[in-house]
Amino acid sequence: MSKPLDDITIARQTPLRPIEEIAAQIGLPASALYRYGPHKAKITAEHLKTITSPRHGKLILVTAISPTTAGEGKTTTTIGLGDAMERLGKKTLICLREPSLGPCFGMKGGATGGGKAQVAPMDEINLHFTGDFHAITSANNLLSAMIDNHIYWGNELGIDPSKVTWRRVMDMNDRALRQIVVALGNNGQVREDGFDISVASEVMAIFCLANSYADLEKRLGDIVIGQRFDKSFVTARDVRAAAPMTALLRDAFQPNLVQTLEGTPTLIHGGPFANIAHGCNSVIATDTALKIADFVVTEAGFGADLGAEKFYNIKCRQAGLRPDATVVVATVRALKMHGGTAKADLGQENIEALKAGLANMIRHIENVQKFGVPVLVAINKFTSDTKAETDAIEEACAAIGVKAHFCNHWAEGGAGALTLAEDVCAVASSGKADFKPLYPDALPLADKIRTVCREIYRAKDVDFAPAALRKLALFEKEGHGSLPVCMAKTQYSFSADPKVIGAPEGHIMPVRDVRLSAGAGFIVALCGEIMTMPGLGRDPAAHRIYVSEEGLIEGLF
């Protein structure tokens, strides 16, 4: 038996069309593009101003069960669904996030789909792409430099160095930089500092939630970087950083256009993680797509308890979006893991474990339904799946009034997701969606956190650290009480313990700290031991990535 082709080989063996042809498919002239080689381009800001049609596209969110090491294939399903809708003759645009170098060289690998359901060129998208993340990193660190420079040259604003909360970032997993000391060697006020990964930066969140250059600069100016000696807040505007930060982000702010292996137009723009940020692609990309396509397929990071919840409560709330349908992705293998099966045994039929693991999927479906959005289920097929296992999933979904679609887009591309696409188009066009956020703006911040923990995580209660409660009170006093909350929590469990899989309930959710992201427009609640700067594993993917004698990048997946 021949060895199955890996993702990068499949991508290289599939010829791509010139990016101008992909643009023409959605009504964009060549003059609307700033090309990055033959297969990547940005849609220029000048052309975006000419797209004045109202949003008319149907918005479909793809989310998933709680992730496992078995993999669920959310991005692969998003791409396969978009390809299938194109095959049905629907004018479709896919909207994705940009991959971070941290996971590419860490544990996860790339984020461009898999098999015949990929966006391409996969190696270029996964590594550097059009430089957007570098621009975001530079803008974040320019603010850091300007804060310390202001303190060095006399500190006219009276900034308390011990109360500076703005952290530096880099787009790589590096646990050694979580806590550092800056300004040694008579180079300013010595203080503790630290690095986050770039995708956790408030600049990334602002980049993804702003709707114009003016909004981008205003939000950047609203960033709270710390406190004065008199305890009042200091902003990026106060240290005169907003305008130059906007200049660094000018080109990056234009959405990126690429294609799937089947030629479906795809916008990839922005990339916050959903376990430590809001986990959605940019509003400007989604808004543009809704104006020029009939159907827009997007995704939100990790499971529905994180990505989908933040898509609904943060992105949709701020951007005025009204999703028409949601697809929850699962695999037989992942469901069996949630039922207690060891990864080494996933190839064997285990109906008992599967039925136990279905509780996780059902929990996510119920959570999505709380937002008034119709739900469909997509089971990403593996060759090891048995009929008894798929029958059990179908029966469980039918029992709660949801249809399960068994999709083979990894092996067949869009042809493997046609029935899912037909139902998605029908449901999204039915007018049955009655979207509403989970909580009102006026609810106190602590109660917003409790609402998410009780309604989505099914926690019994929340254990707030005393310092976190004091900060929440301060944020409300300073006029930020109407903001939504962004939960920073492990992606592997409904609880704060990544080892508690399945569908736990009645647990206590520990909130050890909170952070104000005034520019992004939300409050971050740090739960349990979640880190905003990940580390590399014992055997990271970086060990297997190299450049071949032919100059090709190998080892990405």
CATH number at residue 506: 3.10.410.10
My answer on whether 453 and 488 are in the same domain is yes
What is the per-residue pLDDT for 4?
58
Q: Is residue 410 among the annotated active site residues?
A: yes
My answer on whether 392 and 497 are in the same domain is no
What is the per-residue pLDDT for 108?
66
Q: What predicted TM-score, i.e. pTM, was given to this entire model? A: 0.95
Residue 433 maps to a domain = no
Residue 258 maps to a domain = yes
Q: Is residue 274 among the annotated active site residues?
A: yes
What's the rounded Cα separation, in Å, for the pair 357 and 398? 16
What's the rounded Cα separation, in Å, for the pair 49 and 58? 22
Residue 414 maps to a domain = yes
My answer on whether 412 and 466 are in the same domain is no
pLDDT, tens digit, 9 for 90 and up, residues 268-323: 999 999 999 999 999 999 999 999 999 999 999 999 999 999 999 999 999 999 99
* Active-site residue identified among 40, 42, 97, 336: 97
My answer on whether 245 and 310 are in the same domain is no
* Active-site residue identified among 274, 421, 488, 525: 274
- Asked whether the beta carbons of 518 and 525 are under 8 A apart, the reply is no
What is the per-residue pLDDT for 7?
82
Residue 273 maps to a domain = yes
Q: Side by side, which strands form the sheet with 508-517?
A: 461-464, 508-517, 522-527, 485-488
* Active-site residue identified among 63, 68, 76, 266: 76
Q: Which residues contact 243 (CB under 8 A, 6 or more apart)?
A: 217
* Active-site residue identified among 40, 74, 363, 515: 74
Here the CATH number for the domain that contains residue 304 is 3.40.50.300
My answer on whether 54 and 192 are in the same domain is no
Q: Is residue 191 among the annotated active site residues?
A: no
Tokens 């790589």 sit at which residue? Answer: 172
Q: Is residue 153 among the annotated active site residues?
A: no
What's the rounded Cα separation, in Å, for the pair 483 and 480? 6
What's the rounded Cα separation, in Å, for the pair 46 and 25? 20
Q: Which of 208, 227, 249 is the last residue of a domain?
A: 249
My answer on whether 222 and 259 are in the same domain is no
My answer on whether 219 and 72 are in the same domain is no
* Active-site residue identified among 253, 382, 406, 494: 382
Using alpha carbons, select from 100, 136, 126 the residue that is nearest to residue 210: 136
Under DSSP, the state recorded for 300 is B
My answer on whether 163 and 147 are in the same domain is yes
Residue 554 maps to a domain = no
Residue 555 maps to a domain = no
What is the per-residue pLDDT for 438?
97
Q: Which of 194, 229, 249 is the last residue of a domain?
A: 249
My answer on whether 341 and 352 are in the same domain is yes
My answer on whether 423 and 451 are in the same domain is no
- Asked whether the beta carbons of 105 and 545 are under 8 A apart, the reply is yes
* Active-site residue identified among 410, 475, 494, 522: 410
Q: Name the domain count of the chain.
A: 3
Residue 33 maps to a domain = yes
Within the chain, which residues score under 70 in pLDDT? 1-4, 108
My answer on whether 282 and 351 are in the same domain is yes
Q: Is residue 14 among the annotated active site residues?
A: no
Q: What is the mean pLDDT of the chain?
A: 95
My answer on whether 363 and 509 are in the same domain is no
Residue 91 maps to a domain = yes
Tokens 């009780």 sit at which residue? Answer: 454
Q: Is residue 108 among the annotated active site residues?
A: yes
Q: Which of 222, 249, 276 is the last residue of a domain?
A: 249
Q: Is residue 97 among the annotated active site residues?
A: yes
What is the per-residue pLDDT for 2?
41
> Which structural domain range is residue 50 located in?
7-130+252-428
What is the per-residue pLDDT for 3?
45
Q: Is residue 322 among the annotated active site residues?
A: no
Here the CATH number for the domain that contains residue 197 is 3.30.1510.10
